[in-house]
């Protein structure tokens, strides 16, 4: 649910609950776990973003070997449902193959390699190749091999070739590498962060799914959402409350393949550094900015004299979630209700924490280094006493459309329009870069450095190569 969807009654609630006393909730322990990443400036040659050689190498070194999210469980809720998951020039069928079982197959017929599935499917009892008619059970075993007599000795190769699968938090992961480490090892402590936070992604449903083909490398698109430093320049409409935690600031914690952005600890308030935020003493201006108010719209909430804007935002969120999860919302500390916690899982998933609904995924577009697919999913909780709503279908933007053509993104569309205004020009700038390299800052761009350090490891590259 978007904030702007909040019924008027909820907003009234928010105003009332701003004054209502509540038992004190301790600061969340999971947010106190610190694992700082090394601090150093990193220089990277431009090739990895613009060279087709790198894009092809990524297929071999990363996409054929890494755990990656193929879909959400609710996209294939019934046995016999499947999706065609494509990554770079690879394609897989991800099948709900039995109760509580998901399998993945290379999308290629063992006969002469025609893709077995051209589209997603629902409720099927078999898969069938449209070329010579071989068919398989939904567990990938051969069902009917036409002219099998013509392949003496080939019986052991008639089944679909499997990729590994794993699940966490309602996500279905695949890994094409038969020797890959278990998904649990790859994720490391990441699930604990969400469990300790009481944010169970398996109890979310895909409320919104917007996908767009962008004219930039998948890493460039991803990097635009890996650090909040750009907010000050790219989203100048954001105005922050004076003397508050600076949203451009925070700390980064490294948990292997998972990196988390978290607020500074209450005991470690830092003075904002110059240039890190635009601040205002006008409470209404802060509130209007937070809710991305357009001048022709009424304020989302009116400034309450004597109540800090941040507190009003928190109470507004609390009222909104009370309508979904009931009074359990009172078990959550204020820090969880303000904004969201950035998080990224190598190589291409951003499942933001706390009550943020945001989950981004980035994929290359074939092996074209100049294009990619960016997806925005909003994963929302629903009232537990009701059945899970059906997953939103992916809304693919057509050529010439922008995120503004996806009204389901609500206020986020306005922000993405600004972000995506940069990425094409970054891609172009990399090709006319006199230095031949770019620089990443030691603090503000820590998650970008973290990604690239892992990228180099998987790709077998030297530092910055
Ligand atoms: S290519 Fe699939 S049956 Fe021949
Ligand atoms: Fe942004």
Per-residue pLDDT tens over the stretch 196-232: 888 888 889 999 999 999 999 999 999 999 988 888 8
Output the CA 41–ligand 2 centroid distance in Å: 22
Per-residue pLDDT tens over the stretch 397-432: 999 898 889 999 987 888 888 999 999 999 999 999
Which residue has tokens 């393949």? Answer: 257
Residue 6 and residue 318: Cα distance in Å, rounded? 11
State whether the beta carbon of 134 lies less than 6 angstroms from ligand 1.
Answer: yes
Per-residue pLDDT tens over the stretch 166-184: 999 999 999 999 999 999 9
State whether the beta carbon of 111 lies less than 6 angstroms from ligand 1.
Answer: yes
Evaluate if residue 386 carries a pLDDT over 80: yes
Beta bridge partners of 85: 92
Of the candidates 314, 175, 168, the residue with the CA atom closest to the CA atom of residue 241: 314
Pick the residue whose CA is nearest to atom 4 on ligand 1.
132
Q: Where are the domains of the chain?
A: 3-40+190-459, 68-179
From the CA of 114, give the closest atom in ligand 1. Answer: 1
Beta bridge partners of 206: 379
Q: Do the two domains 3-40+190-459 and 68-179 of this chain adopt the same fold?
A: no
Output the CA 394–ligand 1 centroid distance in Å: 30
Average pLDDT score over the chain? 90
For residues 160, 166, 169 and 170, what is the CA-based torsion angle, rounded to 10 degrees? 10
State whether the beta carbon of 114 lies less than 6 angstroms from ligand 1.
Answer: yes
Output the CA 235–ligand 2 centroid distance in Å: 7
CATH class of segment(s) 68-179: mainly beta
Residue 48 and residue 458: Cα distance in Å, rounded? 13
Residue 329 and residue 306: Cα distance in Å, rounded? 24
CATH class of segment(s) 3-40+190-459: alpha beta
For residues 370-381, give the mean pLDDT. 95
From the CA of 132, give the closest atom in ligand 1. Answer: 3
Band (pLDDT 50/70/90 cuts) for residue 442 is very high
Of the candidates 62, 160, 157, the residue with the CA atom closest to the CA atom of residue 103: 160
Output the CA 66–ligand 1 centroid distance in Å: 28
Residue 128: nearest ligand to its CA? 1
Structure tokens at 254: 């490294």
Pick the residue whose CA is nearest to atom 3 on ligand 1.
132
Kind plus residue range of the DSSP H or E element containing 380: strand 368-381
For residues 50-54, give the mean pLDDT. 98
The model's pTM: 0.91
Pick the residue whose CA is nearest to atom 1 on ligand 1.
112
Residue 231: nearest ligand to its CA? 2
State whether the beta carbon of 129 lies less than 6 angstroms from ligand 1.
Answer: yes
From the CA of 109, give the closest atom in ligand 1. Answer: 2
Band (pLDDT 50/70/90 cuts) for residue 249 is low
State whether the beta carbon of 108 lies less than 6 angstroms from ligand 1.
Answer: no
State whether the beta carbon of 136 lies less than 6 angstroms from ligand 1.
Answer: no
How confident is the model at residue 3, as a pLDDT? 36
Residue 220 and residue 168: Cα distance in Å, rounded? 27
Question: Burial letters for 339-363: b for 16+ Cβ neighbours within 10 Å, e otherwise?
Answer: bebbbbbbbbbbbbbbbbbbbbbbb
């Amino acid at each position: 649910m978007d904030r702007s969807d909040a019924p008027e009654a909820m907003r009234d609630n928010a105003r009332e609950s701003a004054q209502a006393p509540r038992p004190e909730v301790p600061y969340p322990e999971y947010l106190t776990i610190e694992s700082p990443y090394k601090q150093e400036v990193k220089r990277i040659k431009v090739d990895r973003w613009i060279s087709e050689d790198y894009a092809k190498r990524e297929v071999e070194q990363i996409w054929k070997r890494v755990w990656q999210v193929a879909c959400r469980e609710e996209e294939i809720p019934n046995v016999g449902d499947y999706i065609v998951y494509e990554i770079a020039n690879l394609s897989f069928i991800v099948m709900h193959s039995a109760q509580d079982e998901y399998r993945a197959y290379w999308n290629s017929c063992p006969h002469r390699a025609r893709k077995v599935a051209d589209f997603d499917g629902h409720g099927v009892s078999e898969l069938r190749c449209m070329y010579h008619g071989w068919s398989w059970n939904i567990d990938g075993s051969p069902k009917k091999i036409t002219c099998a007599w013509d392949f003496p000795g080939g019986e052991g190769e008639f089944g679909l070739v499997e990729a590994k699968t794993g699940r966490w938090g309602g996500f279905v992961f695949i890994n094409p590498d038969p020797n890959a480490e278990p998904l649990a090892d790859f994720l490391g402590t990441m699930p604990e962060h969400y469990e300790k936070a009481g944010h169970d992604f398996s109890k979310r449903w895909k409320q919104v799914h917007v996908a767009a083909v962008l004219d930039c490398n998948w890493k460039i698109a991803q990097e635009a959402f890996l650090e909040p430093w750009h907010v000050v320049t790219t989203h100048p409409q954001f105005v922050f409350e004076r003397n508050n935690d600076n949203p451009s600031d925070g700390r980064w914690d490294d948990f292997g393949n998972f990196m988390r952005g978290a607020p500074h600890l209450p005991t470690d308030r830092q003075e904002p550094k110059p240039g890190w935020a635009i601040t205002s003493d006008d409470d209404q201006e802060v509130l209007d900015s937070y809710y991305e108010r357009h001048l022709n719209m009424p304020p989302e909430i009116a400034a309450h004299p004597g109540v800090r804007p941040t507190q009003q935002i928190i109470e507004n969120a609390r009222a909104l979630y009370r309508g979904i999860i009931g009074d359990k919302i009172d078990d959550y500390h204020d820090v969880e209700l303000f904004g969201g916690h950035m998080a990224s899982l190598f190589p291409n998933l951003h499942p933001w924490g706390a009550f943020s609904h945001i989950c981004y995924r980035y994929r290359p577009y074939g092996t074209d280094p100049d294009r990619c697919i960016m997806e925005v999913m909003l994963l929302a909780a629903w009232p537990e006493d009701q059945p899970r709503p059906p997953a939103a279908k992916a809304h693919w933007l057509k050529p010439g459309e922008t995120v503004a053509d996806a009204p389901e993104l609500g206020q986020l569309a306005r922000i993405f329009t600004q972000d995506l205004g940069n990425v094409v020009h970054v891609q172009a700038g990399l090709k006319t870069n006199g230095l031949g390299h770019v620089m990443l800052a030691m603090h503000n761009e820590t998650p970008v450095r973290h990604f690239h350090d892992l990228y180099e490891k998987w790709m077998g590259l030297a530092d910055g190569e």
